Amino acid sequence: MNFTSPELNRQVMTPRILQVIAVNTRTDGSVDVFTYTPFPDITISRVEDLQFPFREAPLNLMGYPVRSYVTNDAPRAFKYINRHGKTVYTGYSFKVVLALLEKHNGTFVEIFYNKTKIVDGSVQHRMLVDREIDIAVHPYVLMGGILSVSYPITPIDVCVVVPAPQEIPASLYNVLPFDRTVWFTIFGSILIFFFVHLMVKVTSGKPINYVEDIIGSVGIIIAMTPEIEIYTRSWQNRIIFVFVAAYGLILVSLYHSTLTSLYTIKIYGKGMETLEDIMKANISIMVLDTEWMPLRNAVEPENFQKQFIPTEETVFIGHRNYFNTSFGYVSASDRMEWLLEQQTYFERPLFSPPIYCFIPTCLRIGMSPLSPYEEALDRVILQTFQTGLRDKWLKETFDDTVYAGIVKRMIVSRKFVDAVSIVVVKVSNVDTKWKRKLNAVMSASV
């Protein structure tokens, strides 16, 4: 720019022909004269809506810096340094703010606030009121008031997530063919037959030996027949023996067939599907100590509150993010949805979807009072819901948390057991052997 052309300035400004601001001399010798006029441009347009007569001009921030602070709040908003050494801002709420700035030509500026490493609603509220930040990338529960707030960015519930049914060890398979009622019935029948056996023995004149008689009673029921001379002396005794032997045959066959089928599959315990199941299991439930007091009054019934353990944040996140199935956890539904994405790689999920939720609410993005970004942000939020971007960003957040080292992608593989067929063959052979022995005994008794 050439500001030293007094001759030209005098020629055009003295007669008040032009209001010259600057003069630029090109390399080819031509001259550009930059001027201004005090007279505005007038545009005449037709009013189509009397309620909104003025046309809304699009928001153009022209690179204006929009300030906020960022901490670790996955999956909503967090940052990490990628392998190229570049800081990556991500999270489904953060991406909404970044979409706003990209659409309206704004620039994100991070304000470093080192007094807290967690998201504190009171701290964000104070920073917005004092205009230390322009917008909060961390959404939280807001009801308006002095601050400008966005449309709800996501509806959430505070939920309790509990471990999924776990595999039962093979060593316990022997008691699984029958439930508790059947086992009590079997033990009762053994006791009854023991007294019948004693009566038959007394009437036959044989001496009583309680140890041998108990073993003999159990042996007849499970088709391992002991001495049967006492049952061949009368037709009543033979009927008793045949009845008990048939009962034992049916019982043993059912037990072996059921046990054989169990060894061909994996057996899992009963899952917790209702609040009553959680209370009956008496599982300990971790909750953040900073959140327990406002949540406590919403937990019903009161005796259920005894299962909650207020825990420090580092301990809570360590157990929850690495799927410690010894506890249940209290967390917002969006965090649970993000964390359960990790189970996609599991053979079987370690945690069930939330079955007990309370305090339904919604998260909003806070802005400084009378913020000029409120209307534009609301429009962006609606567009993210209409296009499905919110759900897409929530699913993508899991990969970002893996790259950030917040969680680990664990792949659980299944080990197939090749010896199952051998076990089935052996049990079938045992069934056949007992059937042959029982047939021979019944023929001899008759």
Write out pLDDT tens, residues 9-20.
566 555 555 566
- CA torsion angle for 10, 14, 18, 21 (degrees, to 10)? 50
Q: Is the pLDDT higher at 340 or at 87?
A: 87
Residue 77 has phi, psi (to 5 degrees) of -160, 130
Percent of the residues in the chain that have a pLDDT greater than 90, as a whole number:
23
Band of pLDDT at residue 225, cut at 50, 70 and 90: low
- Separation of alpha carbons 325 and 164, rounded Å: 8
pLDDT at 446 over 50: no
- Considering the chain, what is the average pLDDT of its residues? 76
pLDDT for 1 equals 43
Rounded average pLDDT over 225-254: 64
Tokens representing residue 395 in the block: 């699913």
Domains of the chain by start residue, with CATH: 1-48 (no CATH), 61-153+364-405 (3.40.190.10), 155-167+270-362 (3.40.190), 170-266+419-445 (no CATH)
- Separation of alpha carbons 358 and 2, rounded Å: 71
From the CB of residue 322, how many other CB atoms can be counted at a distance below 10 Å?
11
Q: Is the pLDDT higher at 316 or at 416?
A: 316
Lowest mean pLDDT among 6-15, 335-344, 392-401: 6-15
Sheet architecture: strand order including 154-161: 308-311, 285-288, 328-332, 154-161, 356-363
Tokens representing residue 240 in the block: 């008793």
Rounded average pLDDT over 289-313: 89
Band of pLDDT at residue 283, cut at 50, 70 and 90: very high
Rounded average pLDDT over 148-156: 91
For the whole model, what pTM was predicted?
0.62
Lowest mean pLDDT among 306-320, 350-364, 378-392, 424-438: 424-438
Tokens representing residue 99 in the block: 């979409």
Placement of tokens 């359960």 in the chain: 340
Rounded average pLDDT over 252-275: 70
Lowest mean pLDDT among 96-100, 284-288, 301-305, 431-435: 431-435
CA dihedral sign of residues 170, 172, 175, 180: negative
Dmax over Cα atoms in the chain, in whole Å? 149
What lies within 8 Å, CB to CB, of 408 at 6+ separation is 322, 402
Write out pLDDT tens, residues 178-196.
677 777 777 777 777 777 7
Write out pLDDT tens, residues 104-124.
999 999 988 765 566 677 788
- Separation of alpha carbons 335 and 351, rounded Å: 14
DSSP state of 267: -
Placement of tokens 């080819």 in the chain: 28
Write out pLDDT tens, residues 403-437.
888 877 766 544 433 332 233 333 333 343 444 44
What single letter denotes the amino acid at residue 210? Answer: Y
